[in-house]
A = this chain, B = another copy of it.
């Protein structure tokens, strides 16, 4: 059957965890894949930084000349799994110019250059697929671009970084400090030696940019995403969250914001937030990822699964490869991307959320009233307050801690409130300011 068809040529760029799995599955499942495509896939070559005999694949497939590989006449689909933005961008643009369909998992590149790459694919009339770039194996890109194409997405909130979710889950379960949980994640291989890209939210911000772009048909780049990491989240915050019926998650949020005049903006932001335990995202633990979507007609949807790892990511990559290959065999292309709405990006100052604050204060009469009036003065409405007295080792009172949960307020109003609180002589410190999501 399919074996008599002209094969579809594939070039894989990069032979790390994901590349190795892609090559393995292409070989192990060759027959199944051929049946689904209507023609066999043929691996033409693998671009690597340095050709070596011990890579677990026939050495004659390896090449350091990526430029020549992506230009080969017998290559139809280029799978880019090299990692860094360069030389991936150059290789992808070259592949598109040579009329190859491209599958990539390169979130950093996509979050910088999605417009440029999409334009190049459009010009060449080929497919550019990137299901693996967000949330690994979990189908998110295709549901958002296709299944929800007739709906109006209002909000996307995702747990899309496994390292930080592992750390926060550990802190929640064991009461560990951030430093201890990070050390454990590192020892178990869930955090890299330099965890900055994960714990400071850069990875989650790149994914937020991609999600916002496709959910709102608007170009959003990583630099447009407001970003806070998890390094300041404390064991005390987790204890307070628990008392409020919440846990804390690093969320990548993309939201359609309607202004008073009816015009719309897109907000894309990453920060640790309190999430009620009853919310489906609250039970997404460890290295799992999930993307929660709210749409006007569909209501609430959630997509859950493994967000990283060689095999899960390879599954998403190969789904894209099969779709691109089918389009080749059938002489078409997949659906083009939508015309873009080009909504403006909302600055964080105008974005309303609920807030959780933890303050250390002197334990004097009138403190709570002074604190509360700073909120009231800026129109920030308080939903809940808890005050607890603090004592030193000898049981002597040494002040109090106040936890405040607000109703929705803009970031601008809240920031002004925090500045004013810090200047109050009765306030020793503002220990934490976290947002709360998932309650409206």
Contacts and interface: CB of A to CB of B under 8 A. Distances in A.
Contacts of A322: 146, 149-150
A317 interface: yes
A347 interface: no
Interface of A: 1-2, 21, 25, 29, 32-33, 35-36, 38, 131, 137-139, 142-143, 146-152, 217, 280, 283, 295-306, 309, 311-312, 314-323, 326-327, 330, 332-336, 338-339, 341
Contacts of A334: 334-335
Determine chain A's interface SS by DSSP, over half rule. mixed
A318 B296 CA distance: 12
Contacts of A38: 336, 339
Given A297-B315, A301-B306, 5 more contacts: A25-B151, A35-B217, A137-B297, A151-B319, A304-B304
A313 to B, nearest CB: 9
Nearest to A26: B150
Q: Ordered nearest first, which 3 A-B pairs have the shortest CB separation?
A: A150-B318, A139-B147, A137-B298
A139 B301 contact: yes
Given A21-B297, A339-B1, A36 B319 contact: no
Nearest to A1: B339
A101 to B, nearest CB: 13
A36 B217 contact: yes
Given A142-B147, A319-B149, A306 B299 contact: yes
Task: Determine which residue in A139, A280, A326 has the highest number of CB atoms from chain B within 10 A of its CB, and name it.
Answer: A139
Nearest to A132: B147
Nearest to A280: B304
A29 B131 contact: no
A177 to B, nearest CB: 27
